[in-house]
Amino acid sequence: ANLAAQLKESNRKLLISGHTDSVGDGVSNEKVALQRAKKIREKLIAHGVSGAQITCQTFGERKPVATNDNPQGRYKNRRVEFRLQ
């Protein structure tokens, strides 16, 4: 709700990027990552943010922030990132 309030006040744009670990095939991971980003977009819209302010993109497994060789690393790679524009 805090992010939603900031977006409504500032009218800035938000880019939401979805990411996954490397488990599964690349095509499925791209879809899952995009679904993650879109879920966040839906919640922000439900809090009154204009859909025109929010763009979603997917990176799937292509931009890991940790190793995919252990559960802790895979957990860190399953994420969404926000960038105000």
Kindly report, residue by residue over 22-56, the tens digit of the pLDDT: 999 999 999 999 999 999 999 999 999 999 999 99
Can you list the alpha helix ranges (DSSP code H) found in 1-85? Answer: 2-10, 26-46, 71-77
Buried b (16+ CB within 10 A) or exposed e, 21-55: bbeeeeeebbebbbebbbebbeebeeeebeeebbe
Instruction: Report pLDDT for 47.
Output: 96
CA distance 38 to 16: 8
Q: Which of 2, 83, 4 is nearest to 45 (CA)?
A: 4
Mean pLDDT of the chain, nearest integer:
97
The tokens for 46 are 């439900």
Instruction: Report pLDDT for 15.
Output: 98
